[in-house]
Amino acid sequence: MASILNVDQINNAAGTSAVTIDPSTGKASFPNSVIIPNGATLPAGSVLQVEQNTYATWTTTSSTSWGFTGLSCQITPKLISSELLVHITIAGGYLSSTNEIMYLALYRDGSLVSRLDETFGHVYGGNGISGAWTFRHTAPTTSITTYQLYWTTNNIGIIGINNYAGRIGASGNTKSTMTITEIAQ
């Protein structure tokens, strides 16, 4: 014989509501939580989704105008109120002198949202450089959103990302990655 337990609410040890069961749907909800479109209810701070894209094409520029590096990632946020964490890791380098500087910026759907405080260049030494950054943004829409990494240089020489060492047959970082995590608020 199977046992059945029917409840409308489960309280914690202090007597306050911890879980409420909707009698019509049977779905649980939690205090201070977020309801996502599929009907599940998650507490604030929950990871709703993660999207990632890797870009491994050897790409260079010597332009002083902002241009697209080739690294991008798309996400369709589940909630407008959620927070998006955009994490970027790049493998970069300069090709001809130690005075070249790489400036980076994050664009969302073609518009600037953040410029990086750090710059790449002679301060890092050597011809192989890498870095990682995380940006926080409130989801602007529940439609597909594209984040792109743009760059420019001080025009002293050529800068590049991905497989910088491959040009001389040496080993080195060969890819850059963008990861977007949606967090319930």
pLDDT in tens, 61-119: 888 899 999 999 999 998 888 999 999 988 776 666 656 777 888 999 999 998 875 55
47-183: CATH class: mainly beta
Domain locations along the chain:
47-183
What CA–CA distance (Å, rounded) separates 184 from 80?
10
**C-alpha count within 13 angstroms, C-beta hemisphere, residue 143:** 4
What CA–CA distance (Å, rounded) separates 73 from 107?
11
pLDDT in tens, 113-166: 988 755 554 333 345 566 788 889 888 899 999 999 998 887 677 777 876 554
What number is the average pLDDT over the span 38-53? Answer: 82
